[in-house]
């Protein structure tokens, strides 16, 4: 299932580009303009719902913070649970964590230790991981590992925007299926 070129153009036209943010030489893809455009947002969410309705998912996991928006909306549409993947120190209960490297140093993400526990399931929980954008892929790689540590199976990672020149999606595809709505 693919978007038509016209549908892709609707989405692309709804994403604002901000030059030199957060630093010189960077073009920031601002999805807030997609979110407040009801035609574009509904088109995207309807498309994702149709794509994933036959996956028999148990959870959607969203990466902080923009992954929460798309993940929670999609979880609602599919009638499944939502699990937030947060930066270290933001969750109130016992957590498990995964470190990942940044350009200068390391960062860490967490989920609650019982995020994927469901006594009604007779199988390993199936999870879709979602975020707004993939650049180098470090956070997504760590998030996919964290889902595994949490006792679930990450069946695919979905990004609204793939920055092709940074090759994060290609690297991530070596360990898990990746679906990109838009390639830029």
- Active-site residue 103, yes or no? yes
Catalytic residue among 2, 103, 119, 122: 103
- Active-site residue 66, yes or no? yes
Which residues are CB-contacts of 62 (< 8 A; sequence separation ≥ 6)? 68, 69, 70, 71, 72, 82, 83, 84, 85, 129, 130, 131
Catalytic residue among 2, 16, 51, 66: 66
CA distance 17 to 27: 6
Please report, for residues 16, 43, 83, the alpha-carbon distance to residue 125 in angstroms, rounded to integers and kept in the order given: 36, 28, 12
Instruction: List, by residue number, the catalytic residues.
Output: 66, 103
């Amino acid at each position: 299932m693919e978007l038509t070129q016209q549908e892709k153009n609707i989405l692309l036209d709804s994403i604002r580009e901000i030059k030199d943010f957060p630093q010189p030489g960077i073009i920031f893809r601002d999805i807030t303009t997609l979110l407040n455009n009801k035609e574009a947002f509904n088109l995207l969410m309807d498309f994702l719902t149709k794509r994933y309705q036959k996956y028999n998912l148990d959870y959607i996991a969203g990466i902080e913070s923009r992954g929460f928006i798309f993940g929670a909306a999609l979880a609602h549409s599919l009638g499944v649970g939502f699990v937030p993947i947060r930066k270290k120190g933001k969750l109130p209960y016992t957590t498990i964590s995964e470190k990942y490297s940044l350009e200068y140093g390391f960062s860490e993400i967490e989920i609650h230790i019982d995020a994927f526990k469901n006594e009604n399931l007779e199988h390993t929980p199936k999870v879709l991981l979602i975020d707004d954008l993939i650049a180098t892929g470090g956070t997504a790689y760590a998030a996919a590992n964290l889902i595994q540590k949490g006792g679930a199976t990450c069946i695919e990672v979905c990004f609204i925007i793939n920055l092709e020149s940074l090759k994060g999606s290609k690297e991530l595809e070596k360990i898990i299926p990746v679906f990109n709505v838009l390639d830029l």
